[in-house]
Amino acid sequence: MLFLGPPGVGKTHLAIALGLRAIEQGSGVYFVRAHELLEDLRRAQAEHRLERRLRIYLAPKLLIIDEFGVWPYDRMAATAFFTLVSARYERGSIILTSNKGFGEWGEVLGDAVIATAILDRLLHHSHVLNIRGESYRLREKKQAGLIGVGTAALTGSRDDALNDNPPTDREAQANAWRTAPRGPVGCEPSRPAGFRGCAPVVRHDGPGGPG
């Protein structure tokens, strides 16, 4: 499952909730920030120990990757990430949160071809939830009169960069990943302790938790 949307709309909150639900059902879950994950994989590949390091991320039934796209990555990190996604493809679930539309993944990963290959696997057997709305964090500040309406409005502009209508077939997902297709399923908490699971999500319009 993929959660897309601007900062503060609840993506991480929902991913963790699904991970906890999975744990309750007895599934193994692992949560990790995308930057930490890709840097770990990049370093392992540079030191010729990627295969051994991958075992950590392949073991849980559900892997939650949070905040993908906040930082750009080099080609070595992108290749290592592709190796992980390929290894988990049709074998383990993934929940991924991102504030980047699929059309920007090539820029984030530094290689459009690798980005397309990763999305081809993530979007197969998956669901994508595109969350729109104002940041919960900024909404609270706005209600307290600490920021102006103009500042809060900037957080919603990101929605236009994210896709709305996911393709309905695999070919569209593979060849038109710039639209908003569906995403993979899976999850796990940030600090390894036994996180597991996933569940459905809804767009946020009212009060809720940060993300």
pLDDT in tens, 165-207: 444 444 444 343 333 333 333 333 333 334 333 333 333 444 4
What number of H helices and E strands is found in the chain? 9, 5
How deeply is 16 buried, as exposed, middle or buried, from its count of CB atoms within 10 A (0-12, 13-18, 19+)?
buried
| Residue 42 CB partners (closer than 8 Å, separation 6+) | 73, 74, 76, 77, 80
Q: Which pLDDT score, from 0 to 100, does residue 172 have?
A: 40
Rounded Cα distance between 119 and 167, Å, is 13
Radius of gyration, CA atoms only, the chain: 17
pLDDT surpasses 80 at 209: no
Tokens of 22: 């999975």
Residues linked to residue 96 through DSSP beta bridges, in sequence order:
2, 65
Produce one character per residue of 62-101: b if its CB has 16 or more CB atoms within 10 Å, e if not: bbbbbbbbeeebeebbbbbbbebbeebbeebbbbbbbbbb
Q: What percent of the chain has pLDDT over 90?
A: 61
Q: What is the pLDDT of residue 144?
A: 65
Measured distance between the N- and C-terminal CA atoms of the chain, rounded to whole angstroms? 16
- Res 136: pLDDT: 72
pLDDT reported for residue 133: 83
**Span 2-175 CATH architecture:** 3-Layer(aba) Sandwich (3.40)
Mean per-residue pLDDT over the chain, rounded: 77
In angstroms, rounded to a whole number, what is the distance separating the alpha carbons of residues 203 and 46? 40
Question: What is residue 184's predicted lDDT score, i.e. its pLDDT?
Answer: 35
